């Protein structure tokens, strides 16, 4: 009998009152390994009530108390990295090495959350007029709803929840129903770190519970990572219910390579950043954009053998460079995108659609695919392809390369490889992407800088991590105060508008 995966509410595992469930697969084998409970509105209500009641007490706890839990969580993440990587790999399909890399970035986010007392400090001004002092203070917003994607089962939730908890909120988290087990392990580590029961809750489910979170009057803010279509929906529906919403969506990240670049380094960077984790990353390089015919010719000659040398295998195969995609549906979608691009005139240089992994015939595997002569009018250029199919476009000049990149609806990340400072400077200033790399293939900021794209890669004004995340999870109060002397006479009545009387 398949394992049953439930919820985590008020410090306890429970099946919930809902009757619907969904399958959980091991992408490496294609086997159903569990059934995941889908929360109904009653289950969600219990989670929000728990987060509200426990969160109010937690929000009044001292900074020292909160920080001790964050520090302990960091220690537990390090101690349990092998267990977490195994859990991620079994349900996601990414290699063990890749999963451990994800966990390392999660730990980085937890480390930054220890700075919460500093990044939430207010301002103070004395005697602004009439012996009045004015100060600002940041306080928790209440209950935070977190909705996370399948591709980072631990990193994205850690980024969201560590800061939300550190500044004093209660949390209700809905992980992807494709990777539910990591959520329960993460909840267990929070509990072991000393977080009071009810502050951190997990509700499993699909769109039904998402809609419930967006409509629930007890949830003050929602943070989301996922596709652009869903991100836009969550932003519009959440804000219509007067919630603050930060929705981080898709990307189609271009890698511009100038003729003066180190082409060997650029080729290695493209393969690494393009195909890691079976290209199931919103910051993956999607399109290689060499400037000049000769640059394109030489780069293609360099990248083809490197791509062909990549090994695809099961998550626990130490020799595998990347693993399976998340689902049979995802595999079909990527195969369809490849076929449509070729039909539209793209040149299929490497075809990974017929890959077979020995001993894993039912796994959701795709080999690395490369299509040349992609043009801006193709769907392959317009849409995010969440699988190991990458493209080459051509530009005659840096101006054209910038125009091609900026023409795209998404603006998550963009990178340039060059030895010329002026080209890099122009690219940085003119490109319309939230995260920019100069000879860096994946411009994913460290945890103490803000993360977020532009245009249709982000809805809302906040950022996923960095100091801006602390501001998203807190609300600002500004206090004006006067303390008169004990024998001071009362001020006379005055109906004139004044800022200091």
What 366-370 contacts at long range (C-beta under 8 Å, 24+ apart), as own/partner pairs, is 366/278, 366/312, 366/324, 366/325, 366/331, 366/334, 366/335, 367/310, 367/312, 368/275, 368/307, 368/308, 368/310, 368/312, 369/338, 370/303, 370/304, 370/307
Cβ atoms 413, 428 nearer than 8 A: no
The pLDDT value given to residue 441: 81
Please say whether the beta carbons of 161 and 171 come within 8 A: yes
pTM of full prediction above 0.85: yes
Return the pLDDT at 443: 67
CB-based contact 195:70 (threshold 8 Å): no
Dihedral angle of Cα 186, 188, 189, 193, to the nearest 10 degrees: 140
Contact 435, 451 (CB under 8 A): yes
Residues 293, 297, 298: CA angle, nearest 5 degrees: 120
Which architecture does CATH list for 253-438?
3-Layer(aba) Sandwich (3.40)
Q: What is the pLDDT of residues 145-164, one digit of tens each?
A: 999 999 999 999 999 999 99
Tens digits of residue pLDDT in 21-80? 999 999 999 999 999 999 999 999 999 999 999 999 999 999 999 999 999 999 999 999
Residue 452 has a pLDDT of 65
Task: Determine the distance from the C-alpha atom of residue 481 to the mean position of all C-alpha atoms in its chain, rounded to a whole number.
Answer: 41
pLDDT of residue 253: 87
Active site residue 36: no
Q: How far is the C-alpha of 249 from the C-alpha of 81, rounded, in Å?
A: 27
CATH of domain 3-249+457-479: 3.40.605.10
115 phi and psi, to 5 degrees? -90, 5
What span, in angstroms and rounded, lies between the C-alpha atoms of 27 and 224? 24
Nearest of 55, 3, 141, 239 to residue 469 by alpha carbon: 141
d(CA 362, CA 450): 40
The closest of 412, 393, 498 to 454, measured between CA atoms, is 412
Domain boundaries, the chain: 3-249+457-479, 253-438
**How many other C-beta atoms can be found within 10 angstroms of the C-beta atom of residue 328?**
15
Q: Report which DSSP code applies to 464.
A: S
Q: Which parts of the chain have pLDDT scores under 50?
A: 500-501
Catalytic pick from 36, 146, 282, 341? 282
pLDDT for res 1: 55
């Amino acid at each position: 009998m398949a394992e049953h995966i439930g919820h985590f509410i008020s410090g306890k595992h429970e099946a919930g009152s809902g009757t619907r469930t969904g399958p959980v697969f091991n992408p490496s084998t294609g086997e159903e390994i569990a059934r995941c409970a889908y929360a109904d509105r009653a289950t969600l209500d219990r989670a929000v009530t728990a987060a509200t009641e426990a969160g109010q007490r937690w929000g009044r706890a001292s900074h020292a108390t909160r920080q001790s839990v964050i520090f302990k969580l960091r220690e537990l993440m390090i101690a349990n990295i092998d267990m977490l990587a195994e859990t991620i790999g079994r349900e996601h399909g990414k290699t063990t090495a890749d999963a451990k890399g994800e966990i390392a970035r999660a730990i980085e986010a937890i480390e930054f959350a220890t700075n919460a007392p500093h990044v939430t400090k207010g301002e103070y001004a004395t005697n602004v007029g009439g012996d009045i002092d004015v100060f600002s203070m940041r306080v928790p917003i209440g209950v935070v709803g977190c909705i996370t994607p399948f591709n980072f089962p631990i990193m994205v939730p850690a980024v969201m929840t560590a800061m939300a908890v550190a500044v004093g909120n209660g949390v209700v988290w809905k992980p992807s129903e494709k990777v539910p087990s990591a959520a329960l392990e993460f909840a267990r580590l929070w509990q072991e770190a000393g977080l009071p029961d009810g502050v951190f809750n997990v509700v499993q489910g699909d769109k039904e519970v998402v809609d419930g979170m967006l409509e629930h009057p007890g949830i003050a803010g929602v943070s989301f990572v996922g596709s652009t279509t869903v991100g836009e929906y969550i932003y519009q529906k959440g804000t219509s219910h007067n919630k603050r919403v930060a929705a981080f969506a898709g990307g189609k990240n271009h890698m511009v390579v100038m003729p003066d670049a180190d082409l060997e380094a650029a080729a290695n960077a493209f393969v690494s950043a393009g195909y890691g984790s079976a290209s199931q990353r919103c910051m993956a390089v999607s399109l290689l954009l060499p400037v000049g015919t000769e640059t394109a010719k030489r780069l293609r000659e360099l990248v083809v053998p490197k791509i062909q040398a990549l090994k695809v295998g099961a998550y626990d195969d130490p020799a595998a460079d990347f693993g399976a995609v998340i689902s049979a549906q995802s595999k079909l979608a990527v195969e369809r995108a490849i076929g449509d691009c070729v039909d539209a005139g793209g040149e299929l240089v490497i075809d990974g659609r017929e890959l077979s992994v020995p001993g894993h015939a039912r796994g959701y595997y795709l080999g690395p695919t490369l299509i040349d002569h992609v043009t801006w009018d193709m769907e392959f250029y317009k849409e995010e392809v969440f699988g190991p199919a990458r493209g080459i476009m051509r530009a005659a000049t840096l101006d054209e390369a910038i125009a091609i990149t900026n023409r795209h609806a998404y603006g998550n990340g963009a990178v340039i490889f060059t030895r010329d400072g002026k080209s890099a400077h122009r690219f940085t200033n003119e490109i319309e992407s939230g995260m920019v790399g100069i000879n860096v293939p994946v411009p994913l900021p460290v945890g103490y800088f803000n993360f977020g794209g532009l245009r249709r890669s982000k809805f809302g004004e906040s950022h996923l991590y960095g100091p801006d995340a602390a501001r998203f999870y807190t609300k600002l109060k500004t206090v004006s105060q006067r303390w008169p002397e004990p024998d001071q006479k009362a001020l006379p009545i005055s109906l004139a508008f004044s800022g200091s009387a």
